[in-house]
């Protein structure tokens, strides 16, 4: 794909981050079901951890569009059932990650639709930290949780 962001970016300390143009993930919240989390495939970066569906942004793709695209590809999240709540950005200067937080207007069943997921599950916000979380998501979860409506 022309303009694909699928590539590693290396920080000054050698740490690597996925997404030539940054990355984005979608945190879907439903007041009764909780938040939709993805158990990441073992082969993926930080695999065998829980986080939100997401991935590399394409060239000139907004974080919102990337997050919704990735969640559709990885978890069958229906874009027409989502309402934007807010977004949160971690900007390292050379790379950024945006968590786009949306509210699901209706319940839906997520669908594993590619090899990047071991499982998808709705999790009560109070139970999220009991899972082995992706380090980036673990760091951002407390602040994200406080803003869920």
Q: Write down all domains in the chain, each with its CATH number in brackets.
A: 24-147 (3.90.79.10)
pTM, entire model: 0.94
Residue 16 and residue 44 in contact, taking contact as beta carbons nearer than 8 Å: no
pLDDT over 90 for what percent of the chain? Answer: 91
Beta bridge partners of 54: 25
pLDDT, tens digit (0-9, with 9 covering 90-100), for 90-99: 999 999 999 9
Backbone angles phi, psi at 119, to 5 degrees: -155, 160
pLDDT, tens digit (0-9, with 9 covering 90-100), for 65-111: 999 999 999 999 999 999 999 999 999 999 999 999 999 999 999 99
- pLDDT-derived band at 47 (thresholds 50, 70, 90) equals confident
Residues 6 or more apart in contact with residue 93 via CB below 8 angstroms: none
- pLDDT-derived band at 1 (thresholds 50, 70, 90) equals very low
Q: Are strands 34-40 and 50-51 parallel, antiparallel or unpaired?
A: antiparallel
């Amino acid at each position: 794909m022309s303009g694909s962001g699928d590539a590693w970016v290396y920080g000054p300390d050698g740490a690597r981050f996925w997404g030539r143009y940054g990355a984005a993930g979608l945190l879907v919240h439903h007041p009764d079901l909780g938040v939709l989390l993805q158990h990441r495939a073992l082969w993926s970066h930080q695999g065998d951890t829980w986080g939100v569906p997401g991935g590399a942004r394409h060239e000139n793709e907004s974080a919102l569009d990337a997050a919704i695209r990735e969640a559709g590809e990885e978890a069958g999240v229906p874009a027409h059932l989502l309402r934007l709540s807010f977004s949160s950005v971690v900007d390292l200067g050379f790379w950024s990650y945006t968590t786009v937080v949306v509210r699901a207007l209706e319940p839906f069943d997520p669908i594993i639709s590619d090899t990047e997921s071991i499982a998808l599950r709705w999790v009560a916000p109070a139970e999220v930290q009991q899972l082995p979380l992706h380090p980036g998501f673990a760091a951002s979860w407390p602040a994200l949780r406080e803003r869920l409506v």
